[in-house]
Structure 1
Amino acid sequence: MTSITPSFDHEILLSLLQHHYQLSGTLKPLASYCDQNLLLTTEQHEFVIKVSNSAEKETELAMQNEAMQHLAVKGIPVPQALENNVGLQITPIKDNQHNQFYLRVLTFLPGNFYAQISAENTSPKLWQNLGEFMSQVTVGLSDFQHPGAFRFFDWDLAHGYAICQEKKPLLPEEQRVIVEYFLNLYQAHAAPLLAKLPRSVIHNDANDHNLLVNDITSPQIITGLIDFGDMVYSHTINELAITAAYALMAQQDPINTLKCVVAGFNKRYPLNDEEFEVLIYLICLRLCTSVCNAAKAIKEQPDNKYLLVSVEPAWHLLKLFKQHNFFALTCQLKVACDINPDTGKSKQAIKSYREKHLGKTLSLSFKEPLKIVRGQGAYLYDEQGNAYLDMVNNVCHVGHCHPKVVAAGQAQMAKLNTNTRFLHDNLVDYAEKLLATMPEPLSVCMFVNSGSEANELAFRLAKNFTGSQQLLTVDGAYHGNTNACINASPYKFDGPGGEGAPKYVHKVMLPDPYRGSFQTSDKLAGKAYAQDILRVINELAQQNKKPGMFICESLQGVAGQIIMPDGYLEAAYQYVRDAGGVCIADEVQVGFGRVGTNMWAFETQNVVPDIVTLGKPIGNGHPMAAVITTQEIADAFVTGMEYFNTFGGNPVSCAIGMAVLEVIEQEQLKENALKTGHYLKQQLIVLRQEFDVIGDVRGLGLFIGVELVLDRENKTPATELTAKLVEFVKAKHIILSTEGPYYNVLKIKPPIVFNRNDADKFVAALREGLCELS
């Protein structure tokens, strides 16, 4: 039904009021969204005259009248509807075009509008009272039922997600991206809990133009609530979400305001766990609904200034909430309500169980381990909602729990997940997009589940193609946790519990410009290090053997965050290929734009490998990996033995992998890694000038190592100091780790959403730690 906004002449309305209510006086227009509202002043009283729009149903108006009466009986200050001369509270009237409307006369509540208060005159006492007042309304309506409340309504948050999806195309691109961010969060975290939330009839519109206060200059209490036109049967928590959304607008410290409102509300209406969990998402959904509904209304009524009242403050709040982790905020709200945020097992109980039942080799970080329960962007959060800047997690590449990646996985998981023996678009679509990032002739994808599995498959491919099992690996390298990968990893087979290199595995010199034999980063040093590969090749030749494969991380990780000299891989690859071997680039830790200048770290060495292995960042935490190779090598693998992987390349993994690539591209994260990494490296170089204990700062993009030494001349490893620094910055809520054979290299491999503010925070903590410890 088309909605017609009434526009009765004042003289006609006065005539109708005299006829139906025996009321006379003067009329003054009041602001309204889609009705005609006026203030009637008689000789003795004031009344609010409401003429509903033509689409308003009589049953819904009756609901409002009965709800106000219901609340008034319970002592809650709300308007009351007057009866006309035939005993009815609703009077049908028609305009000159014979359109029917409904007329009501409501008692006038004295007081000042909350909207009239300047932000500096609000206070925690007022915010808490607002929460308490609206909880009274909520409890008061908990036993109220009416058929008019069961309706579809654009402002019902239960339909907010769908409403925003429908109307967000009306927003400019920049604003639409913001709305989509919150819709993805809502769908991932709040939507699954909706079925558990209590429902009731709610007022649904406790905005600052509907709330009355005792005073403008020093307000302390809410004195009344008006306008019941948005009433609906919905999730009860929506009442608090809407109240809070409006209360936060224009506040200097919206989070503190939110704590006070929620604490007040919780006094009369104790929130359950699910209601706490969804509250922030619902507040943001209300803000998104406001801007989306306004976008449509403004397009239809460009001259209606009332529609713009809440839009700008809503955008400001959305941008503010985008900077916060909702779990951390929820924990703060629980603390404000004197509730312990953590409802899980204690850290000691978890630790004890791990030690007894999960194997004693399952290690933990830090002397006092952290219980981490959430993640967002470059931050992890403990059970109390405390944020920790994550400097080492190169798995959650585009940020912990990126909403687009989460949404892609959820959406596909709800449709289908099966193996690759069936045809599915996701497999070929993802392979096509992934291969498009690779140089020729790398044109064949094989999907697996982990970096270890990828390297193991790469070894099989190389052996089949070359006919040789002989494997060359760089000293100090780590390539995975399967038997074949352990055998290819000096970091493991030469380390504690290791059994040394198998006969078919041959170590070559680590090309380390800081501690190695050739301590420069130029091409001469690169070629000099590569000569050690010729040594192994010649030794094999004397045994009538040839190299089957050479595996090398494109940047050396566990060996100490090493940036190899220019030309190393160029020369190394040439030597290996001339001897009949193939070259494997292990990009499991360093791929997908981490180096900043390129998508793949091997490109910084001006080479094209024969096989590339991918893992960790490929799925942003989802277990997937890939092997990329040439058609020739892939064809040689066709021996009659089928290669099949139950989970590799499944539709869910491919959807997630596609989302990761899209986020890297859309959010320009490769470029961010370059800019932020350069900035951080420069700040660390400045720090090196202040502290002699910093022997070297090296890195590309957001792959950086800081090596600590007791003296720069002898480069004696500062192992103990490095361990203390890790614990020191942990106390500053920064997660850091070490690399290298002496564990004296600070490992810096954060999610590549890591930004300049994060860099400043880390450098400040590191400077403080060096001052105190060194």
Structure 2
Amino acid sequence: MFQLQSDKIGEQEAGIITEALFGISGEAERLEGELDLNFRLTDGAGQSYVLKIHNPAADRDFLEAQNAMIRHLDAQKPDLALPRLVPSLDGSDGGMMCDSEGHERVVRLLTWLAGETWNHVAKKGGLTLYPLGRFMGQLDQALAEFDHPALKRKFLWEMTGAAVHKKHVSMIGDDEIRAIVSDILNDFEGRVSPLLKNCPHQVIHNDANDYNVLMAPDGAVAGLIDFGDAVHSVRIAELAVAGAYGMLGRDDPIAAVLPLVAGFHETNALNDGELEILYALMRVRLAMSVCMAAKQIAENPDNDYLLISQKDVYELLRRLKDVNPHLVHFRLRDACGLEPVPGSRAVRDWLELNGGDCALVCPLIPGKDPLWIFDLDPGQSSTSQSHDPAGWWAQIEREMKLRGAKAAIGRYLEDRSVYTSDNFAADGRERRTVHMGIDIFMPPGTPVFVPLAGKVVHFNDNVEELDYGPVIILEHETDTGAKFWTKYGHLTRDSLPGLALGQRLEKGEAFARIGPFPENGNWPPHLHFQILTHLLDMGTDVFGVAPKSTLDIWESIAPDANLILGISEDCAGRVARADDYLIDKRKRHLSRNLSLSYADPLKIVKGRGQYLYDEAGNEWLDMVNNVCHVGHCHPRVVKAGQEQMAELNTNTRYLHDNIVRYAKRLTATFPDPLNVCFLVNSGSEANDLAIRLARNYTGSREMLIVDHAYHGNLSSLIDISPYKFNGRGGEGCPDQTHICTMPDGYRGAYKYSAPGMAEAYAADAHRHLEKLRVQGRKPAAFIAESILGCGGQVMLPDGYLKDVYAAVRAEGGLCIADEVQVGFGRVGHHMWGFELQGVVPDIVTLGKPIGNGHPMAAVITTPEVANAFVTGMEYFNTFGGNPVSSAIGLAVLDVVRDERLRRNALDVGEQMLVGMQAMAQSFDLVGDVRGVGLFQGMELVRDRGSLEPADREASAVVEEMKKRGILLSTDGPLHNVVKIKPPICFNAGDCDRFLTGLEESLRLVSGRSWS
């Protein structure tokens, strides 16, 4: 043990100690330290180190834990900028010395990290915390498997024990701060602490503060120092600590930490429970800091520095006092690429399917009663019109009369693409400029009806406070238990007295009336109607007009009111977004390696809806063209394409609102974490890219497929399409393709009636996986259509995909759902076919139906899979996602929603299935009828016992149907399945025509000799 002869430990002595214990000589410089002595030592070559001479009372077990933690990180993440231990001359992690008073001290030498403290960089402005978030995410990922008994300690800065600080609250001198801190700690103890059990626990650094984080000139993290607060705790506390410091001194504290959270989540995914309490824990950290300082001030009342150091914390706590915690939670989720309001998608999905069953909110029949849609200029509101609401209403009435309109819809346009001073009030707060509901202008006294049964939860006369006038909010519940709300504004005051909180109102019941000015907020008479998925504890004050910066969150809180109203016109104003917003959303919803720089015999000549027209003007009922998903030449889709085509069509190297808006809208129809899309031009391109993504992610080229599948016409897809490689001209199955038995409950080995049919067919996939395992190989992916198209419109047995997906993932492979034919609401029950099986794939492929025949397609995947694809080789598709295609895609989404086409597919599909099943009882030729929604098949057989395929008969039926003006085709490995997949606007009348024609055709074909 080195014996120090001097009675002090200064810079000279530090140099002596370093040379004696570590064999390194150089100049020492004293550094700040609370308990330990710290020195920077620079040797003759200019290499710097940190010498730490620990307090005699230091816990040596804890110091060893720090050493073990540093060694572990060095082995797991050598690329992270962290201090490394310099071994002593005897090869240990440090040395021992005895000072002149006989006290033994542990001495450690660590590598020096160059950089400027986060605090100093932040003061210069322009600092983004995204790199720090990634760094801390990687750090905690590396620490996930590390543990040490000394780190499971009671420690005042360990956040799960924050309630202990309640005893210090009374020491806080500032009355307002004392009340704020008390509320924070009470909330922690009563609400947050019980939720910690749902969070991952591990060893964390626990002190990424603005002096322990070092930044490089380019904004990267240059280092993280000081492991003295390391502890075993909840993982989310790591991010909460950094977030608390990240908010200090910021004009918009919440916006400042969103990149931090996004970066962490990208490298180390946070779960829903962690995101739910993250903001609360950030405030807890600030409260702990105030309590600790108050305790120290009480013990050292003359230490003015302690009060000064708390100035920024006090200011931040005051700023956060009125911040809505629900909005922060939703912003944090959005930053992570998740649906902001966790239950919003479920509500939207339910309304998408069931909204058509709602009662009329106003005595207005969408699609029948004429409407006048008029635009309001940016910023136009009651404040700019209140001087003459009578004149404004008179103008609206005149225009409605000229157009024969029963009502008018005021569409609010927010045209500003960048923020200007007009966006902000004098106090610096952002103005609310984006209208979130639909305003229906009708005469005063017009009754308002309950669209869905519900109860009254809030009502208020806001005429003296806001410009809504009397407001009522009703609560509703889906059949799955999800709650949502509807808001009604600008009512008559006499709508309120008969209401009571909790009062039950039935669907179609008149409960309010449109108010006259001025009692309606001094507007022309109209109803503000809004759907809400969360009330934010704001009651009737929940916003009907949102601030632009948080519009994505508000679109999740207040989804399109047309989900209930069903007005088949665009009632929402478009909001242009700033460049930085578009860039950010591209990173989230589009692949990051997409760079930016400057930038048959029938001659069909026309289509309309589910009908095609030949050059002679003959009409044909199209029952096979699933590509024109919402109907041929849908005027709304055509208009969208025409208008954008007349303005601009370039490529994705330029910023444009359409591509980001479409990527966001499309990915919002998928369950998390499927929220990144690649936009391409065809289903073949989509499937080819899906295979590349899977092979890149897994490092394997082995593909599991279903027999008779067809996935596209590219060479890569022929290799996984038995329909092609085992067909005429095919070259057979490639070595890296593994064919799983088609789970056909009619013709296969296991029949519909067999118990465990799904497991029996899935066993073949297990067999292939076991074979690969024995060979030391693993699958890249299992790819299957959610309903087998070329296999003969075969419905997968319930539970099949769940079984196979689990088995494939257990072996390291991914699961791909080919939704080119069956997706986008065609199955009726769900938007996507895989949802019939209750699974979430890793990758989903879509084809031209998403553009109603326009050459566009997409691959939807998870951020994890997409990020792994960023290898340095750019993926660029010249025409995928161009502004015209994106505009068309957006219009198709609108049509599916506004025309209730999912519900139509469900209802008409059921009508068709029942009709064909009746024919199966009448014609021996019909072997099987199967399908769902508007994706169905009828398999024809010559003998029901032998199941001899009636292929010629099937073709004859198709020809007979053609004579009746109905277009069909055959499919299946034996070419004996009449396939049915019309545009999903196919209606009940069309179905009656089809069933009549099919019955006639079956009777004629059945009466012929086919020997």
* Bin for the TM-score computed over the shorter chain: 0.5 to 0.7
Distance change (3 Å), C-alpha of 1:630 and 1:685: same
Distance change (3 Å), C-alpha of 1:587 and 1:422: same
Letter in 2 for 1:741: P
Letter in 2 for 1:385: G
TM-score (norm. length: structure 2): 0.41
Tell me which of 495, 500, 509 is aligned to 2:732. 500
Letter in 1 for 2:798: D
Instruction: Give, in whole Å, the separation in 1 of the partners of 2:744 and 2:405.
Output: 59
Contact residue 372 and residue 405 of structure 2 kept, 8 A: no
Tell me which of 618, 628, 648 is aligned to 1:386. 618
Letter in 2 for 1:665: R
Partner of 2:896: 664
Contact residue 372 and residue 407 of structure 2 kept, 8 A: no
Distance change (3 Å), C-alpha of 1:650 and 1:179: farther
Contact residue 673 and residue 862 of structure 2 kept, 8 A: yes
1:740 aligns with 2:975: no
Contact residue 929 and residue 937 of structure 2 kept, 8 A: yes
Contact residue 523 and residue 567 of structure 1 kept, 8 A: no
Partner of 1:90: none
Question: How big is each residue's C-alpha offset from its partner over 1:587-620, in whole Å with a ceiling of 9 and x where there is no partner?
Answer: 0001000000000000001100000001121000
1:31-430 residue pairs with structure 2 within 5 A?
174=365, 292-294=402-404, 364=600, 369-430=601-662
Instruction: Give, in whole Å, the separation in 1 of the partners of 2:1001 and 2:748.
Output: 29
Tell me which of 454, 463, 467 is aligned to 2:695. 463
Q: How big is the shift at 1:172?
A: 8.5
Instruction: Give, in whole Å, the separation in 2 of the partners of 1:297 and 1:609.
Output: 45
Instruction: Give, in whole Å, the separation in 2 of the partners of 1:419 and 1:531.
Output: 46
Partner of 2:938: 706
Instruction: Give, in whole Å, the separation in 2 of the partners of 1:696 and 1:684.
Output: 9
Instruction: Give, in whole Å, the separation in 2 of the partners of 1:754 and 1:175.
Output: 19
Tell me which of 632, 635, 639 is aligned to 2:867. 635
Question: How big is each residue's C-alpha offset from its partner over 1:61-103, in whole Å with a ceiling of 9 and x where there is no partner?
Answer: xxxxxxxxxxxxxxxxxxxxxxxxxxxxxxxxxxxxxxxxxxx
In structure 1, stretches of 5+ residues that fail to align are 1-170, 184-288, 300-363
Partner of 2:841: 609
1:437 aligns with 2:631: no
Contact residue 521 and residue 564 of structure 1 kept, 8 A: no
Tell me which of 587, 599, 624 is aligned to 2:856. 624
Partner of 2:678: 446
- Secondary structure, aligned partner of 2:638: helix
Q: How big is the shift at 1:419?
A: 1.1
Instruction: Give, in whole Å, the separation in 2 of the partners of 1:478 and 1:297.
Output: 50
Q: How big is the shift at 1:710?
A: 0.7
Letter in 2 for 1:746: V
Instruction: Give, in whole Å, the separation in 2 of the partners of 1:392 and 1:681.
Output: 16
Letter in 1 for 2:803: A
Q: How big is the shift at 1:736?
A: 0.6
Instruction: Give, in whole Å, the separation in 2 of the partners of 1:523 and 1:662.
Output: 42
Contact residue 181 and residue 403 of structure 1 kept, 8 A: no
Distance change (3 Å), C-alpha of 1:523 and 1:618: farther
Instruction: Give, in whole Å, the separation in 1 of the partners of 2:665 and 2:741.
Output: 36
- Secondary structure, aligned partner of 1:672: helix
Q: How big is the shift at 1:720?
A: 1.0
Partner of 2:886: 654
Instruction: Give, in whole Å, the separation in 2 of the partners of 1:482 and 1:663.
Output: 31
Letter in 2 for 1:762: F
Partner of 1:719: 951
Which structure carries more helix by proportion?
1
Q: How big is the shift at 1:712?
A: 1.1
- Secondary structure, aligned partner of 2:924: coil
- Secondary structure, aligned partner of 1:548: strand
Tell me which of 649, 664, 676 is aligned to 2:908. 676
Contact residue 523 and residue 565 of structure 1 kept, 8 A: no
Contact residue 750 and residue 757 of structure 2 kept, 8 A: yes
Letter in 2 for 1:372: I
Instruction: Give, in whole Å, the separation in 1 of the partners of 2:639 and 2:874.
Output: 34
Tell me which of 968, 982, 987 is aligned to 1:755. 987
Letter in 2 for 1:584: I
Instruction: Give, in whole Å, the separation in 2 of the partners of 1:522 and 1:414.
Output: 58
Instruction: Give, in whole Å, the separation in 2 of the partners of 1:378 and 1:579.
Output: 45
Q: How big is the shift at 1:738?
A: 0.4
Contact residue 938 and residue 978 of structure 2 kept, 8 A: yes
Partner of 1:689: 921
Distance change (3 Å), C-alpha of 1:297 and 1:464: closer
Letter in 1 for 2:1005: L
Question: How big is each residue's C-alpha offset from its partner over 1:306-344, in whole Å with a ceiling of 9 and x where there is no partner?
Answer: xxxxxxxxxxxxxxxxxxxxxxxxxxxxxxxxxxxxxxx
Letter in 2 for 1:502: P
- Secondary structure, aligned partner of 2:717: helix
Distance change (3 Å), C-alpha of 1:294 and 1:766: closer
Percent identity between the two aligned chains: 59
Q: How big is the shift at 1:528?
A: 1.0
Distance change (3 Å), C-alpha of 1:772 and 1:469: same
Distance change (3 Å), C-alpha of 1:636 and 1:388: same
Contact residue 364 and residue 406 of structure 2 kept, 8 A: no
Contact residue 587 and residue 614 of structure 1 kept, 8 A: yes
Tell me which of 530, 541, 552 is aligned to 2:784. 552
Question: How big is each residue's C-alpha offset from its partner over 1:189-234, in whole Å with a ceiling of 9 and x where there is no partner?
Answer: xxxxxxxxxxxxxxxxxxxxxxxxxxxxxxxxxxxxxxxxxxxxxx
Contact residue 370 and residue 404 of structure 2 kept, 8 A: no
- Secondary structure, aligned partner of 1:708: strand
Instruction: Give, in whole Å, the separation in 1 of the partners of 2:407 and 2:842.
Output: 58
Distance change (3 Å), C-alpha of 1:636 and 1:552: same
- Secondary structure, aligned partner of 2:787: coil
Instruction: Give, in whole Å, the separation in 1 of the partners of 2:801 and 2:406.
Output: 58
Instruction: Give, in whole Å, the separation in 2 of the partners of 1:590 and 1:476.
Output: 16
Task: Identify which range, 457-466 or 418-427, moves more after superposition.
Answer: 418-427
Contact residue 786 and residue 822 of structure 2 kept, 8 A: yes
Q: How big is the shift at 1:176?
A: 6.9
Letter in 2 for 1:539: K
Partner of 2:709: 477
Tell me which of 760, 766, 774 is aligned to 2:998. 766
Partner of 2:742: 510
Q: How big is the shift at 1:770?
A: 1.4
Tell me which of 721, 742, 745 is aligned to 1:489. 721
Letter in 2 for 1:638: V
Contact residue 522 and residue 565 of structure 1 kept, 8 A: no
Q: How big is the shift at 1:423?
A: 1.2
- Secondary structure, aligned partner of 2:943: coil
Partner of 1:543: 775
Q: How big is the shift at 1:543?
A: 2.0
Q: How big is the shift at 1:572?
A: 0.5
Question: How big is each residue's C-alpha offset from its partner over 1:723-747, in whole Å with a ceiling of 9 and x where there is no partner?
Answer: 1111111010000100111111010
Contact residue 585 and residue 609 of structure 1 kept, 8 A: yes
Letter in 2 for 1:648: G
Question: How big is each residue's C-alpha offset from its partner over 1:423-461, in whole Å with a ceiling of 9 and x where there is no partner?
Answer: 111111111111111011111111000000000000010
Letter in 1 for 2:938: V
Q: How big is the shift at 1:557?
A: 0.1
- Secondary structure, aligned partner of 1:506: strand
Contact residue 521 and residue 566 of structure 1 kept, 8 A: no
Over aligned residues, Cα RMSD in angstroms? 2.6
Q: How big is the shift at 1:764?
A: 0.7
Letter in 1 for 2:839: V
In structure 2, stretches of 5+ residues that fail to align are 1-361, 375-398, 409-440, 442-599, 1007-1011
- Secondary structure, aligned partner of 1:612: strand
Partner of 1:260: none
Letter in 2 for 1:614: L
